[in-house]
């Protein structure tokens, strides 16, 4: 398992031709968040690796998820007769959610400061973003979670077909909104977050934006590329292959809900499988190779939904972690870099060689001095 390679030789050969192309038209990002991130990034030292910032933000999101899972494991804390989540927890979750989002935005700014822009950094950033979707929504409806996943996978589907990543508006807006909502909940109480009127209005707004804004804009960009003969795939089948796994992924957890199994295990398992599908799609994007029709994790997920009821989230999570670690390891070796350091393996070897040379010079100098003390003529 330690030697298993998820990235094929064909994909490794394809990454050498890859060029990152992204377009961000979100007013919130352009006029608010980017100026804010440009200021925050100055706090970090220039020796700090961007991927370390990315990973730190991801860990904050994971901590939020675990904290809420402790106080509200079954999403019943707001129901009558149940112990509510303490106000201080909502404050902590709200602050850490925004901090995680800030670190996610700052990491690419650090790339530019350190001149350490790599393909591994892009994969690391977007791969963890896809997994973070399940962690930063620590207490929301299943349908809203899928709207966020839908927007995320749609943008990468666009890139897989057009070669350009159009950053989704919904991602930034949802992260800012949810961090604000958590803090407001601490002030006015949980009924604000789980009030039926508020919940229904918020749900209608999110779904409406996804169906009336995100989806039409994505299809418009797709057809513009088709009209200009800029699509990377010639057949309709090849164009829609990347969405096969996400579509099946929507069907399986819906069956899980109908079976009334543990909700947080569902969130963790589905979010992890979604992140795995997204990472697989990103690797195919950057290597200009064909996207697999189905993700391997969907087979055990199918068996799990049909057969098992408990202890399944850890299996899917471990499989995805193994996939992520091995992909990062392969790409690090390919580009001769460290994932969490700005130093390169070559520079480390040079330092070792210089140190050895220095030790040898010191030893020769010591021997010469001893010979001089014994008999000066021995040096002639």
Q: Based on the structure, what is the number of domains in the chain?
A: 2
Q: What is the 3-state secondary structure (H, E, C) of 296-334?
A: CCHHHHHHHHHHCCCCCHHHHHHHHHHHHHHHHHHHHHH
**pLDDT the model gives residue 307:** 59
Residue 379 has pLDDT above 50, yes or no: no
Over the stretch 283-310, which tens digit does the pLDDT of each residue have? 887 787 877 777 777 777 777 666 554 4
According to the model, what pLDDT value does residue 53 have?
A: 93
pLDDT digits (tens, 9 = 90+) for 136-146: 555 455 667 77
Together in a domain, 84 and 139: yes
- Same-domain check for residues 147 and 57: yes
Residue 1 counted as domain residue: no
Residue 258 lies in a domain: yes
Q: What is the pLDDT of residue 273?
A: 79
Does residue 372 sit in the same domain as residue 306? no
- Residues 318-370 pLDDT 10s: 788 888 888 888 888 888 888 888 887 766 555 555 555 555 555 556 555 55
C-alpha to C-alpha distance for 190 and 380, rounded to whole angstroms: 90
Per-residue burial over 99-131, b if 16 or more Cβ lie within 10 Å, else e, is bbbbbbbbbbbbbeebebebbbbbbbbbbbbbb
The pLDDT score that the predictor gives to residue 251 is 78
Does 234 map to a domain? yes
Per-residue pLDDT reduced to its tens digit, 41-100 = 999 999 999 999 999 999 998 898 889 888 888 777 776 777 888 889 989 988 998 999
Examine the domain organization and report whether 21 and 156 are in the same domain. Answer: yes
Long-range pairs for 238-241: beta carbons < 8 A, 24 or more residues apart: 238/290, 239/161, 241/290, 241/291, 241/292, 241/293
Three-state DSSP at 168 gives coil
**By the 8 A CB rule, do 342 and 49 touch?**
yes
Question: Is position 320 within any domain?
Answer: yes
Contact 180, 158 (CB under 8 A): no
User: Is 186 within a domain?
Assistant: yes
As a whole number, mean pLDDT of residues 174-193 equals 74
Distances (CA, A) of 174 to 124, 139, 224: 21, 13, 27
Q: Shortest CA distance to 274 belongs to which of 138, 126, 54, 104?
A: 126
- In this structure, are 247 and 360 located in the same domain? no
3-state secondary structure of 341: strand
Range of the domain at 371: 351-380
Statement to judge: residues 231 and 110 lie in one domain:
yes
3-state SS class at 194: helix
Please, what's the largest Cα pairwise distance for the chain? 100
Shared domain check, 37 and 153: yes
Asked whether residue 295 falls in the same domain as residue 361, the answer is no
- Assess whether 252 and 362 both reside in one domain: no
- Whether the model pTM is above 0.75: no
Same domain? 338 vs 357: no
Assigned domain for 322 exists: yes
User: In this structure, are 251 and 374 located in the same domain?
Assistant: no
Same domain, 330 and 365: no
Asked, for residue 2, whether it belongs to a domain, the answer is: no
Helix axes 196-209, 142-162, angle to 10 degrees: 10
Which run of H or of E encompasses 120? Answer: helix 119-136
- Convert the pLDDT of each residue in 212-271 to its tens digit: 877 888 888 888 888 888 787 777 788 888 888 877 877 777 776 666 556 677 677 777
| Sign of the alpha-carbon dihedral angle for 34, 53, 347, 327 | negative
Q: Residue 213: inside a domain, yes or no? A: yes
* Six token digits for residue 347: 């520079």
3-class DSSP state of 166: strand
């Amino acid at each position: 398992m330690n030697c298993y390679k998820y990235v094929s030789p064909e994909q490794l050969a394809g990454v050498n031709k890859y060029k990152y192309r992204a377009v961000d038209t979100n007013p919130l990002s352009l006029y608010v968040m980017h100026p804010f991130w440009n200021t925050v990034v100055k706090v970090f030292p220039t020796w700090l690796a961007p991927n370390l910032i990315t990973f730190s933000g991801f860990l904050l999101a994971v901590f939020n998820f675990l904290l809420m899972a402790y106080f509200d494991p079954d999403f019943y804390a707001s129901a009558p007769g149940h112990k509510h989540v303490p106000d201080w927890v909502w404050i902590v979750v709200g602050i850490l959610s925004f901090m995680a989002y800030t670190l996610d935005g700052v990491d690419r700014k650090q790339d530019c400061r350190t001149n350490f822009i790599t393909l591994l950094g892009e994969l690391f950033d977007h791969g963890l973003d896809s997994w973070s979707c399940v962690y930063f929504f620590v207490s929301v409806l299943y349908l809203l979670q899928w709207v966020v996943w839908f927007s995320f996978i749609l943008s990468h589907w666009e890139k897989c077909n057009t070669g350009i990543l159009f950053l989704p508006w919904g991602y930034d807006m949802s992260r800012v909104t949810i961090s604000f909502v958590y803090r407001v909940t601490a002030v006015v109480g949980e009924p604000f977050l789980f009030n039926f009127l508020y919940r229904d209005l918020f749900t209608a707004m999110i779904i409406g934006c996804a169906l009336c804004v995100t989806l039409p804009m994505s299809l418009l960009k797709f057809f513009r590329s088709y009209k200009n003969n800029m699509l990377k795939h010639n057949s309709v089948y090849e164009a829609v292959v990347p969405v096969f796994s996400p579509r099946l992924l929507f069907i399986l957890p819906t069956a899980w809900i109908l079976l009334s199994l543990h909700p947080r295990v569902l969130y963790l398992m589905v979010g992890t499988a979604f992140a795995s599908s997204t990472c697989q799609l990103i690797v195919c994007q950057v290597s200009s190779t064909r996207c697999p029709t189905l993700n391997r994790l969907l087979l055990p997920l199918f068996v799990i939904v049909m057969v098992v009821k408990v202890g399944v989230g850890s299996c899917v999570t471990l499989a995805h972690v193994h996939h992520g670690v091995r992909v990062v390891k392969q790409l690090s070796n390919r580009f001769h870099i460290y994932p969490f350091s700005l130093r390169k393996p070559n520079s480390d070897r040079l330092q070792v060689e210089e140190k050895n040379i220095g030790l040898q010079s010191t030893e020769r100098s010591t021997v010469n001095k001893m010979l001089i003390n014994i008999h000066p003529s021995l040096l002639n």
